[in-house]
Amino acid sequence: MYRIRIPRIPRPRALAVPAVLLALVLGATACDSHDSSAGGDRPPGKGGGATSTAAGPRVTVSPAAGKSGVAPGSPVTVAVAGGTLGAVTVTPQGKSSDGVDPVAVSGALDQAAHTWTSDRTMTPGTSYKVTVTAADAAGKRSQTTSTFRTAAAAKVNGVTPTPLNNAVVGVALPVSLAFDVPVTDKAAVEKALTLTTTPAVRGSWGWLTDPLTGIQRVDWRPDTYWTTGTKVTLTAKLSGIDTGGGHFLRRDIHDTFSIGTARVSYADLAKHTMRVTENGRTVKQFKISAGSAGFPTWNGKMVVMTKQSDVRMTSASVGIATDKDAADFYDEDVKDAVRITSSGTFVHAAPWNDRYMGKENKSHGCIGMSAADAKWFFDKATRGDLVVTTGSSRAVVDKGNGYGEWNLSADQWHALSALA
């Protein structure tokens, strides 16, 4: 018998799979999954819902991250692609370059929550941090942060508000902002001012310039005198506004005050008397001696501005006489002086004119009374009380001389608004 030898067939070696190919294979397997969290395509009829990209929502912030020298009036904008915006904050980091406490920047989303735009100016010389949250349609969230810095103000403008510090004031005191440098962009400033009252009161902002000092103001005056008990709140978002010529305002203002006793005094210069009323009732009547024919007292409505127990009054300070030998020269230490114009009209004690009280006007323009009567008036007087003078040969006091705006009608006053 013949033996048949069958040749041995060698076993095939295992084939090595390249790493790149292996990755592709595994990747393909993952994409075949129908798990909704994978975000893959689904056959029709197998459920629905929006899909998201691996990157999630994409947020863009302007000014760009790291940018410096940003104009304080530039808008801050935030936009998102592939999602919607949530919270957006623009907050200062520390003080400004000149030591001012900077303001946070407010803004609002559009209706679709795709863009956010600031609605106010920023403090000059300040670093700001923008923090943004966003989400895509599948709920994937992101947070973006960005910082930039505003340009420092080469020139500044100061502002002095009246009244302040929860004061209780008289029924004729307007809200007043006086500027160190005249404002050319009045509309920009006025748009930043908000006044709220309880109860609601109709009135307007108006722009004035003092004819003697040249100081420019914007005042808010109600159409009629305030009502006792009214609460007033001023919010002035001024920080970062260029008032003109590169003069920037640096601070916001927020203050409240309330209206006290309705005290109105009526000075009849022809009869040489003054009657004081409180809440419509006469409480005192004085004999007075006001401005002489050569130096008559202003006619019209004036408002108590300040009061001082002792004031040195000189003829030179109001341009009457500088030579002490002149007939109209005076240099007096005056007691209980209540100021009612910036040009220097006061209600004050004038004992040197006692013999003229109730008979003849012999002052250089002020309203004088006995020492006892002046002390009573001084103790009662509150900033914002109204003094009405009649019977003088002089013109009505200018609207910018103190708070002379009450000599205008409501319509005339409204016309002085930069937004009228």
Render pLDDT for 187-200 as a digit per residue (tens, 0 to 9).
999 999 999 999 99
Residue 8 resides in a domain: no
Q: What is the mean pLDDT of the chain?
A: 87
**Same-domain check for residues 139 and 188:** no
Mean pLDDT confidence for 38-49: 34
Residue 292 resides in a domain: yes
Q: Which residue has the higher pLDDT, 218 or 47?
A: 218
Residue 20 — pLDDT band, cuts 50, 70, 90?
very low
**Same-domain check for residues 232 and 325:** no
Residue 371 resides in a domain: yes
Beta bridge mates, 264: 277, 386
User: Which tokens sit at 311?
Assistant: 């004031």
**Same-domain check for residues 132 and 183:** no
Predicted local confidence at residue 320, as pLDDT? 65
User: Which tokens sit at 257?
Assistant: 């005050």
Cα–Cα–Cα angle for 341, 377, 294, rounded to 5 degrees: 45
Which one of 119, 149, 179 terminates a domain? 149
- Confirm if 276 and 284 have CB atoms less than 8 A apart: yes
**Same-domain check for residues 305 and 401:** yes
Residue 89 resides in a domain: yes
pLDDT at 381 over 60: yes
**Same-domain check for residues 269 and 188:** no
Residue 332 — pLDDT band, cuts 50, 70, 90?
confident
User: Which tokens sit at 408?
Assistant: 């205008």
- The domain spanning residue 244 has which CATH number? 2.60.40.3710
Mean pLDDT confidence for 148-168: 95
**Same-domain check for residues 171 and 62:** no
**Same-domain check for residues 182 and 229:** yes
Residue 419 resides in a domain: no
pLDDT at 212 over 80: yes
* Dihedral sign computed on CA atoms, order 69, 73, 74, 80: positive
Helix (H) or strand (E) holding 310: strand 306-314
Predicted local confidence at residue 323, as pLDDT? 57
Mean pLDDT confidence for 318-329: 59
Range scoring the smallest mean pLDDT among 43-57, 119-133, 224-238, 263-277: 43-57
Residue 40 resides in a domain: no
**Same-domain check for residues 377 and 335:** yes
Residue 189 resides in a domain: yes
Residue 318 — pLDDT band, cuts 50, 70, 90?
low
Which one of 122, 149, 176 terminates a domain? 149
- The domain spanning residue 84 has which CATH number? 2.60.40.3780
Predicted local confidence at residue 333, as pLDDT? 81
Residue 36 — pLDDT band, cuts 50, 70, 90?
very low
**Same-domain check for residues 92 and 174:** no
What share of the chain has pLDDT > 70, as a percent? 83
What's the pLDDT tens digit per position in 101-125? Answer: 999 999 999 999 999 999 999 999 9
Residues 6+ apart with CB under 8 A from 341: 298, 302, 305, 397, 401, 402, 404
**Same-domain check for residues 276 and 396:** yes
Which one of 109, 129, 149 terminates a domain? 149
**Same-domain check for residues 171 and 251:** yes
Whole-angstrom Cα distance, residue 117 to residue 90?
11
Domain count, the chain: 3
Cα–Cα–Cα angle for 300, 302, 308, rounded to 5 degrees: 145
Residue 165 — pLDDT band, cuts 50, 70, 90?
confident
Q: Which residue has the higher pLDDT, 306 or 18?
A: 306
pLDDT at 145 over 80: yes
**Same-domain check for residues 139 and 114:** yes
What share of the chain has pLDDT > 90, as a percent? 79
- The domain spanning residue 320 has which CATH number? 2.40.440.10
Residue 50 resides in a domain: no
Which of 410, 415, 420 shows the shortest CA–CA distance to 203?
A: 410
pLDDT at 5 over 70: no
Domain with 169, as residue range(s), is 155-261+409-414
Mean pLDDT confidence for 237-247: 97
Task: Write the CA distances from 47 to 33, 140, 395, integer angstroms.
Answer: 14, 20, 86
Predicted local confidence at residue 317, as pLDDT? 61
